[in-house]
Structure 1
Amino acid sequence: MGTVTIGIVDDHPLLAEGIAAVLSRSPHLRVVSSGNTAADIVEIANRHQPDIVLADLNMPGDAFEAIETVKMQAPATRVIVFTASTSSDHAVRALAAGASGFVLKGSQVGELIEAIEAVRRGEVFITPYFAAKVINALQAKEAEKQAAQQLKLSIREEQIVRLLLCGKPNREIAAALALSEKTVKSYMSNLMAKLHARNRLEVVIAAQKLMPQPPAVRQDR
């Protein structure tokens, strides 16, 4: 592997200097810049175009937004989050934003170098003893996403629910939408099953949480 250029962003100068000193002992690693705010993550990526940016999360600015910006503006630069945070939510957010690694500050130097090498190869690296927690969080988030997609109402289902809100019976709903009563009853059965509702009222209550609400009308005096 050739020389890997690295940027370090951490709001603790002594820690950043220490990391730079340790990494510089490896002949194939070269620190090219450092910073101490989330904005510096983007600045370093755009100006110096390092292979890797090591970035903390707990510093001035929005680190997650900065990671996402680097992903869009400087895709050749990979971000490894190097943090003391053991929050799986933080890890999931960072990875979703575009980070290629999540390494805890309690890790050994060898693990940090291993992370740099893995990410340079195009892999994703997570501190091993923390990985299972992050994977479980990712799986839970994906399950929530799939459940939300399954509960999404179709345009026709939204039309029926809006008419239900007006107190319309199946016969009037059928007439308003140019459907047969049998078809409306079928939609109602599907809505009750999808929303785990026992009656029409529960359908309306559950559906209102999923349907986009119209903007409020401003009343000028």
Structure 2
Amino acid sequence: MPDLSVAIVDDHPMLMEGIAVLLKRWGGFMLAATGTVADHIVPIARTHRPDEMIVDLSMAGDVFQAIADALKIAPETKIVVFTASASTEDAIRALDAGAKGYVLKGSPGEDLFQALQAAQRGDVYVTPSFATKLICALKEKTLERQKAVSNRLSVREQQIVNLLLLGKMNNEIARELSLSAKTVKGYMTNLMAKLNARNRLEVVLAAQRLTAGANTPAVIRRP
């Protein structure tokens, strides 16, 4: 099996050298390119299309946007963020941009190795000591989003949602609420727009999430 090509983008030369030494020690990795600012991320992705890219957040430029743009060009590249930032907001933004790993500097070198391995499997890896904090932040963010959506529903829409959760069909909802079938259909169209749903089933699923509370996304793998 050929070595995995890895690019490193970090504005600390000594740190880049240290990562390169680790890659060589671990074996199975080949250093493909290096960069020192966010603006280097996209050109590296376009020119080298590395299997993996290790990216710092504390560099000049918009790293989050660069990650998203690079993955549009080279979606096969797995990006692992290696940073000193223990901000859950930064971690969520990085994962939302498409990063497959979030490793804190100061962690054991094994964490970075595990992140690179997990990314190749299609998993998302977060430094174990930081993962619980991130999971709580994700849960809180999901609750906030759900509350915002729920607050946008009118009284009538909430009534229809409640009946949908009971398994009622449109004609049954119309009878229950003394509405015409056409009116109920109109409400369903509005609900699909508000809940970002494409059909009746997705409206029901979205309504279940609103009433059941947040479910933590199963994206974080911990050893």
User: How high is the TM-score relative to the length of structure 2?
Assistant: 0.67
Match of 1:216 in 2: none
Match of 1:18 in 2: 18
The CA deviation at 1:18 is 1.5
Q: How far apart are the structure 2 equivalents of 1:98 and 1:20?
A: 23
Match of 2:34 in 1: 34
Which letter does structure 2 place at the counterpart of 1:15? L
Match of 2:126 in 1: 126
Which letter does structure 1 place at the counterpart of 2:93? R
Match of 1:211 in 2: none
Q: How far apart are the structure 1 equivalents of 2:112 and 2:26?
A: 12
Match of 2:216 in 1: none
Asked whether 1:5 is paired with 2:9, we answer no
Match of 1:83 in 2: 83
Distance 1:61-1:97 versus aligned 2 partners, 3 A rule: same
1:84-127: CA deviations, max 9, x gaps?
11111110111111111000111111221111011111110000
1:114-157: CA deviations, max 9, x gaps?
11011111110000010001111111111111111112256x99
Unaligned runs of 5+ in 2: 158-223
Q: How far apart are the structure 2 equivalents of 1:97 and 1:111?
A: 21
SS across alignment from 1:133 = helix
SS across alignment from 1:11 = coil
Larger relative contact order (C-alpha < 8 A, sep ≥ 6)?
2
Match of 1:145 in 2: 145
1:147-188: CA deviations, max 9, x gaps?
11112256x99xxxxxxxxxxxxxxxxxxxxxxxxxxxxxxx
Moved beyond 6 Å, runs of 4+: none
Asked whether 1:115 is paired with 2:138, we answer no
Match of 1:173 in 2: none
The CA deviation at 1:39 is 1.3
Q: How far apart are the structure 1 equivalents of 2:122 and 2:2?
A: 15
Q: How far apart are the structure 2 equivalents of 1:146 and 1:100?
A: 25
Which letter does structure 2 place at the counterpart of 1:35? G
SS across alignment from 2:26 = coil
The CA deviation at 1:2 is 4.2
Asked whether 1:55 is paired with 2:55, we answer yes
Which letter does structure 2 place at the counterpart of 1:28? G
> How many aligned positions are there?
157
Q: How far apart are the structure 1 equivalents of 2:135 and 2:73?
A: 28
Q: How far apart are the structure 2 equivalents of 1:17 and 1:7?
A: 12
Identical aligned pairs, as a percentage? 48
Q: How far apart are the structure 2 equivalents of 1:73 and 1:149?
A: 33
Q: How far apart are the structure 1 equivalents of 2:9 and 2:23?
A: 14
Match of 2:162 in 1: none
The CA deviation at 1:79 is 0.8
Asked whether 1:64 is paired with 2:39, we answer no
SS across alignment from 1:25 = helix
Unaligned runs of 5+ in 1: 158-221
The structure with more radius of gyration:
1
Q: How far apart are the structure 1 equivalents of 2:91 and 2:41?
A: 17
